[in-house]
Amino acid sequence: MTGVASEPRPMKFVVDCMLGKLAKWLKILGFDTVYHSAADDDQILSLAQKENRAILSRDTQLLARAGELSGRYIESEFWPDQVRQVLAAFDLWDKTAPYTRCLDCNTPLKPLSREKARNLVSPFVLERAKEFSLCPSCDRVFWQGTHFEAMEARLSELLRREGPGKAGSSDQA
């Protein structure tokens, strides 16, 4: 026994088509998450098996078919509670890496220097954003600052561990 914790495999998910907001926020938090709004049960099951992804669903029939595959019934209909359930169920509170994954294609982002961002974003964004990153797969540029502020407020609310907050009331952001 060395006492050194072995690094577990990073958690990967496939999210069923009813849970788009959950999928989006898992990606914002940096988790490898596949979601297609039109995926059927067979596609979800085969992705889970091939890519070793945990299935997140509110469909008990789908989860029953998952058998040995890793899956989790999502209890709430309210997405912040869904995110918290997933973080708690898979012990991911300390493994979040916000803004490290492309929200379009799920690819890990690469840092982008301000110099290079200059040609890719508007002067407005260039002036106000703090950091930039680029998706090496679809070339989309992401930045923090400006419009991320609303997202960051939500994120810090989400990551407060006290458990489910009151539903509603945070939609002003």
Q: Which two tokens stand for residue 2?
A: 């060395």
Q: Taking the complex as a whole, how short is the minimal distance between the CB of residue 5 and Zn ion, in angstroms?
A: 32
Contact with Zn ion (CB under 5 A): which of 23, 83, 102, 117? 102
Residues 8-67 binding Zn ion (CB under 5 A) are: none
Contact with Zn ion (CB under 5 A): which of 46, 52, 137, 156? 137
Closest CA to 74 of 28, 16, 11: 16
Cβ partners under 8 Å of residue 107, min gap 6: 101, 135, 136, 137, 138
DSSP element (H, E) containing 166: none
Q: Does 127 bind Zn ion (CB under 5 A)?
A: no
10, 152, 169, 20: CA torsion to nearest 10: -40
Residues 142-171 binding Zn ion (CB under 5 A) are: none
CB nearer Zn ion, residue 116 or residue 160: 116
Q: Does 135 bind Zn ion (CB under 5 A)?
A: yes
Cα separations in angstroms, 115 against 109, 111, 112, 120, 133: 17, 12, 8, 10, 12
CB nearer Zn ion, residue 89 or residue 103: 103
CB nearer Zn ion, residue 110 or residue 147: 110
Q: Does 110 bind Zn ion (CB under 5 A)?
A: no
Contact region with Zn ion (CB under 5 A), list: 37-45, 114-122, 138-146, 161-169: 138-146
Specify the length of the chain in residues.
173
Q: Does 104 bind Zn ion (CB under 5 A)?
A: yes
**How many positions of this chain bind Zn ion (CB under 5 A)?**
7
CA angle 172–29–36, rounded 5-degree value: 90
CB 99 within 8 A of CB 28: yes
Q: Taking the complex as a whole, how short is the minimal distance between the CB of residue 27 and Zn ion, in angstroms?
A: 10
Q: Taking the complex as a whole, how short is the minimal distance between the CB of residue 119 and Zn ion, in angstroms?
A: 18
Residues interacting with Zn ion, by CB under 5 A?
A: 102, 104-105, 107, 135, 137-138
